[in-house]
Structure formats: C-alpha cells, structure tokens
Amino acid sequence: MIDKSNITAEMIEQARHADLGEYFKRNGYEVEQRRNELHIKGYGGLYINTDTNEWYCFSQADKRGGRNAVNCLTDILGMDFKTAVSELVGYSYARPVSYNRTTYTVPEKKEAKHLTAQTM
C-alpha cells in the first residue's frame, strides 16, 4: 500500500487511461459482454465501449459518461479521487491488491432431528 499523498502526476495520467473493462472484470463485478460493449450489472445502465474505453451510464442524467477512467470510478462508484487513482494503477487503500475475487457461501441449514418414542 502507498500513502495517498504519494500520488504522482504519472500515476494520475496512467489511471485516466486505464482499461475500465479490465478493471471491472478483475475486481469481480458482474459484467456482460456484447461485441465491443461491456455492461456492468447493478449500476443502472453502466456501459463501457471496450474499443474506445468510453463509458456511459443511462441512469445518471447529470453524469452521462466520458473517456476518463478516474471520473467513472468517482462519479459512478463514489470513490474519492486518490482512491480511484490508486485502484486504477493497481494499488488499493481499502484492501490488499488482489485480482481474484473470493466468494463466501452460506452453509445450508441442517434439518433438526425430531425425537420420537422409538429413538429415545
């Protein structure tokens, strides 16, 4: 992890041009690919053109979209600027860097055994 104050101009430039589709895929977001368009499910019509890296969110009237990956993370995901930059260049303040999403499954409930006169 790096200190947020260590964000450099080079990191900001790299983050602005980061591959948004790859970011959402490697961080475990539910996505659907159709031709050159990636739909990020659960974010109100967020689509990324994988050829141009442009993004558009149909449910955000005032935040229609753009080409800047940092703006997508700040406007749509609600990250602050420095966190968005660090996420896009491969660092994380919120969690250790990990590209494998882990899932947790809730164990099934076991049926309670009923005592009867025969089992006593």
The pLDDT tens digits along the chain (120 residues) read 455 668 999 999 999 999 999 999 999 999 999 999 999 999 888 999 999 999 999 887 566 788 899 999 998 899 999 999 999 998 654 443 333 444 444 556 555 555 556 655
State the pLDDT at residue 104.
42
C-alpha 86 chain-centroid distance: 13
State the pLDDT at residue 3.
59
pTM assigned to the model = 0.68
State the pLDDT at residue 13.
94
Contact between residue 80 and residue 29 where contact means Cβ atoms under 8 Å apart? no
State the pLDDT at residue 112.
53
> How far is the C-alpha of 38 from the C-alpha of 24, rounded, in Å?
10
Domain ranges of the chain: 4-88
Please state which of the four CATH numbers 1.20.58.100, 3.90.580.10, 3.40.50.2300, 3.30.420.40 is assigned to the domain occupying 4-88: 3.90.580.10
State the pLDDT at residue 94.
46
